[in-house]
Amino acid sequence: MDFFNYRQAKLFAEDTAVADIAAEFGTPCYVYSRATLERHWRAFDNAFDGYPHLICYAVKANSNLAILNLLARLGSGFDIVSVGELRRVLAAGGTPEKIVFSGVGKREDEIRAALQAGIRCFNVEVSGELDRINRVAGELGVVAPVSFRVNPDVDAKTHPYISTGLKENKFGIDIRSAIHEYRRAAQMANIKIVGVDCHIGSQLTETSPFLAAMDRVLALVDQLQSEGISLHHLDLGGGLGICYRDEQPPLPADYVAALMEKLAGRQYEIMLEPGRAIVGNAGILLTKVEYLKPTADKNFAIVDAAMNDLVRPALYGAWQDIIPAHKDSRTESLNWDIVGPVCETGDFLGKNRELKLMPGDLLAIRSAGAYGFTMSSNYNSRPRPAEVMVDGEQVHLIRERESFEQLWAGEALLPS
Ligand code: LLP
């Protein structure tokens, strides 16, 4: 559930009309709802009902400092994949002991920075990474907490670009060779084994792939136990889907209940790394219709947002709902392709949408809170949008619209 609703014919974000936000901050503009964000985080947290757990929000979904800070205030942990994300979490007031570090290509400087910060654990994804962590930890005179991200070879039944738990994917350590890596780690002077991790993909709409992966992880855990390697935590990754159109993913409570049923009787701290399910439906992208271009074959509505601002439709063919800021009947409903000004045929935000449109109308692209701003770019020298956070009737600017000077900041001319 989110807090973007119509009152009379006007779209509101919590108690604020989105048209007022556009008037004050311009378009395109990302608008987030604090109440939605917090509600979604709590839905995960409350689902554990006192059982030891840690929700490690996946920073890549939306890394704005204000969002990280609100989650840190709730007590959230964080799943990071780069030193840039580490710096963001620390700058936002996140606790190092609640940070887990995932990712297939951790550089030496990133490992060093994470060890110096004192993070909770590395999710090791490559055999050579374990040796590297052991060496860097030795140089620093510390012991590195590690868990292995195992690849359970389970079909997540999602878009191939965001499926990560099949053996042909680059992620994680083949679950069949994981035991060997654990044995190696157990012998290393500067490594402490603390857990196991598995993330099979994103935008999953069923629990069965999660449960299949968990069966394999638990079999590994039992095998480790029989060899005297005991773990403190199980990190079951992120990936719970959201409703973009008509998907019916399980609620966080049902998903967690299904996981806990499998755990029956075992005592491990459970970690989850949700991103999209927390922030996806807590954000919209506001955009203005610049021109209408009806042609003999297609009707194009050209808006001021583009693939550089929100790339999911162009990159994955993802469907995101597009709704008017003001529902009215000034004009007839037609079938429109909603396209941006970028010089690419792939620059669309939605195709075949029945809408009543006039130039100057304001539209909201829904479900844009996750993998929206974080995947934006400056392609076509377009400054990235402003971001605002609505809290009831209050609107806080949480990132200024980029300026033209920022577009070329750091660039340099050759000497004449
Ligand atoms: N943990 C790890 C190790 C991950 O790789 C990811 C996402 C997550 C957690 C969070 O997954 P979530 O709960 O958000 O599904 N750009 C794509 C999604 C890429 C997801 C990458 N990994 C999209 O826009 O659909």
Of all residues in the chain, the percent with pLDDT exceeding 70 is: 100
- Judge whether residue 379 has pLDDT over 90: yes
ipTM: 0.99
- Judge whether residue 204 has pLDDT over 80: yes
| pLDDT of 414 | 98
* 299-303 and 283-294 strand pairing: antiparallel
- Judge whether residue 141 has pLDDT over 90: yes
pLDDT in tens, 237-252: 999 999 999 999 999 9
SS3 267: coil
Tokens 């790394």, residue located: 273
Nearest to 365 by CA among 28, 15, 70: 28
| pLDDT of 168 | 73
pLDDT in tens, 12-60: 999 999 999 999 999 999 999 999 999 999 999 999 998 999 999 999 9
- Judge whether residue 74 has pLDDT over 90: yes
Band of pLDDT at residue 331, cut at 50, 70 and 90: confident
| pLDDT of 170 | 82
Select from 126, 170, 276 the residue to mutate for testing ligand 1; criterion: most ligand atoms less than 8 Å from CB: 276
Question: Residue 126 and residue 120: Cα distance in Å, rounded?
Answer: 19
Mark whether 343 is an active-site residue. yes
Residues with CB under 6 A from ligand 1: 58, 61, 79, 102, 162, 199, 202-203, 237-240, 273-277, 312, 370-371
- Judge whether residue 385 has pLDDT over 80: yes
Asked whether the domain spanning 34-276 has the same topology as the one spanning 4-32+280-408, the reply is: no
| pLDDT of 323 | 98
- Judge whether residue 166 has pLDDT over 90: no
Band of pLDDT at residue 223, cut at 50, 70 and 90: very high
Domain ranges across the chain: 4-32+280-408, 34-276
Q: Tokens standing for 337? A: 């392709």
Taking CA atoms, 307 is separated from 68, 320, 325, 401, in Å, by 25, 13, 21, 17
Feature table: binding site for pyridoxal 5'-phosphate: 239, 273-276, 371
Tokens 């195992």, residue located: 150
Mean per-residue pLDDT for 373-386? 98
Q: Which fold has domain 4-32+280-408?
A: Lyase, Ornithine Decarboxylase; Chain A, domain 1 (2.40.37)
CATH dotted code for 34-276? 3.20.20.10
| pLDDT of 369 | 98
What is the identity of the amino acid at 373? F
| pLDDT of 392 | 98
Q: Is the pTM of this model over 0.80?
A: yes
- Calculate how far, in angstroms, residue 62's C-alpha sits from the geometric centre of ligand 1: 11
Residues 6 or more apart in contact with residue 50 via CB below 8 angstroms:
none
